[in-house]
Amino acid sequence: MFDIVVQLNRALATAARLPDEGKPHGAAHRARSQRFVGALARGFQDYFEGHDPPVRVFWSGNPENRADFNRREFQYDIAVCEIGRAPSASGRAMLSFVTKAHWLVESEFEHDSRAAIIDMSKLAVGDSENMLFIGPAVGPRDGYLAMLGQVAPHCHGQLYLAIVDHPSNWKKYPPNLELYAWVDNGWRLELPVAP
C-alpha cells in the first residue's frame, strides 16, 4: 500500500539536503520546492513501476511521457494515471490514453491565500481516487484550514492536505509536516497524531 506520509517525509528530506548552488534566496526556495515535487513524483513512480495495468507519473521533470502524450505534465504538479492503449483511427499506430487517476497533487508554497485557493481549486476540476494539496505552514492555521475547507467538498476522491514549512526554512531545521484528511466535512489531523 502506498504510504503518503513516508513519501512526503522522504521527499522533504531529499529536497532539504540538496545544495542550493549559490542561488539567490527566491530562486533557492523555488528550486527546493521543485526538488520536493520531483522527489515526491519519483516516489510515486517507484511505487507504481511494473503495475498492471500500467501507470504513468506526469510532472514537469519527467520526459518519459513525451513520446506517448507529447507532454511531461498534465494540469497538476503531479498526476499518477493508469494508462490504456487503443489503435489509432487508421489502425497504423497504438495510442496511449488515461483511464483513471490514482493521485492528483497540487502544491503552493507562497504565503498567499488567493494562490492557495486557486491551486486547490484545480483538484476540484479533477477526478481521482486520491488528491493531495501541499501548502505552507501559515497563520492563522484555523483560517487557512477553513478557507481550504470551502473547496474540499468539491473535490472528488479522498482528499489530503499536507502543511509543511516554507522552503526558506528547510536549511535551518528539518521541515515539519502536518497531514490532514478531509473526513465527514472537516479536516482530521492524521500526522502528527492528535492528542
Q: Is residue 191 part of a domain?
A: no
Asked if 55 and 102 count as a contact pair (C-beta separation under 8 A), the reply is yes
Q: Is residue 156 part of a domain?
A: yes
Q: Domain span at residue 179?
A: 4-51+73-79+103-186
* Mean pLDDT over each residue of the chain, to the nearest integer: 92
At residue 173 the predicted structure's pLDDT band, cuts being 50, 70 and 90, is confident
Q: Is residue 164 part of a domain?
A: yes
Q: Is residue 40 part of a domain?
A: yes
Mean pLDDT of 165-170: 88
Distance, in Å, from the CA atom of 18 to the CA atom of 116, rounded to the nearest integer, reads 26
Terminal alpha carbon distance of the chain: 26
At residue 88 the predicted structure's pLDDT band, cuts being 50, 70 and 90, is very high
At residue 195 the predicted structure's pLDDT band, cuts being 50, 70 and 90, is very low
Q: Is residue 56 part of a domain?
A: no
Q: Is residue 144 part of a domain?
A: yes
In this predicted model, what pLDDT tens digit does every residue of 104-145 receive, in sequence order?
Answer: 999 999 988 999 999 999 999 999 999 999 999 887 899 999
Number of structural domains the chain divides into: 1
pLDDT for res 26: 76
- The percentage of the chain sitting over the pLDDT mark of 90, rounded to a whole number, equals 76
Residue 93 in this model has a pLDDT that exceeds 70? yes
Mean pLDDT of 145-153: 97
Q: Is residue 62 part of a domain?
A: no
In this predicted model, what pLDDT tens digit does every residue of 2-20 receive, in sequence order?
Answer: 899 999 999 999 998 887 7
Q: What are the distances in angstroms from CA 73 to CA 65, 130, 141, 147?
A: 8, 17, 31, 27
Check which CATH number belongs to the domain holding 132 and give it: 3.40.50
Mean pLDDT of 41-55: 95
Q: Is residue 31 part of a domain?
A: yes
